[in-house]
Amino acid sequence: MITGIYPGSFDPVTFGHLDVIKRAAAMTDRLIVGVLKNNGKTPLFSTDERVNMLQEVTGDLSNVEVVSFSGLLVDFARENNVSVIVRGLRAVTDFEYELMMAQTNRVMEPSIDTIFLSTSLDYAYLSSSMVKEIATYGGDISKFVPSVTAKRIYDKINQN
């Protein structure tokens, strides 16, 4: 039984994240999508909102669970019998930080490995920050996030 975790901020989830989730879910028996609670950044969406948005768009994937976590990823992974951490790599600019995280996590918990999925070319440029910026200026984000998520982003931005 292989349990994987795909951790991140997901503020908000994009088609790039969804692509990684679907591919990782096909490779694991159980995939936990782990939403980090307090990472020093000030998120647009609360943790619960980010979890709910992810649940909305992964409801059709039977082996995927969305949960939030705080503290060290390796501690949360250990508590949930995770054997593999999944991260998406968009471009070479992601690589240095991702490699450093993977190596640090492996020193802290040698039994858990990190695997990297190269993001599909369609989403290689995509980031949550860019989606938020486009939405702030009233731009069309329908090519970047699911329609239910787009609605929540516009609603949130209009509230602020």
Quote the least distance from Cβ 157 to ligand PNS, whole Å: 20
Q: Is 14 in the site for ligand PNS (CB under 6 A)?
A: no
118 backbone dihedrals φ, ψ, rounded to 5°: -75, 130
Active-site hit among 50, 90, 132, 152: 90
Pull the structure tokens for residue 91.
């471009």
Given 4, 5, 9, 47, the residue binding ligand PNS (CB under 6 A):
9
Closer by beta carbon to ligand PNS, 36 or else 112: 36
160/148 Cα distance (integer angstroms)? 19
Q: Is 124 in the site for ligand PNS (CB under 6 A)?
A: no
Given 13, 20, 36, 141, the residue binding ligand PNS (CB under 6 A):
36
What is the pattern of x (binds ligand PNS, CB under 6 A) and - over residues 37-76? --x--------------------------------xx---
- Which helix (H) or strand (E) segment holds residue 52: the answer is helix 47-58
What is the pattern of x (binds ligand PNS, CB under 6 A) and - over residues 69-88? ---xx---------------
23/81 Cα distance (integer angstroms)? 20
Q: Tell me whether residue 151 is one of the annotated catalytic residues.
A: no
Query: Would you say the C-alpha torsion 53, 65, 63, 102 has a positive or negative sign?
Result: positive
Pull the structure tokens for residue 18.
């969804």
Residue 120 DSSP code: P
21/33 Cα distance (integer angstroms)? 8
Interface residues toward ligand PNS, by CB under 6 A? 7-9, 36, 39, 72-73, 101, 104-105
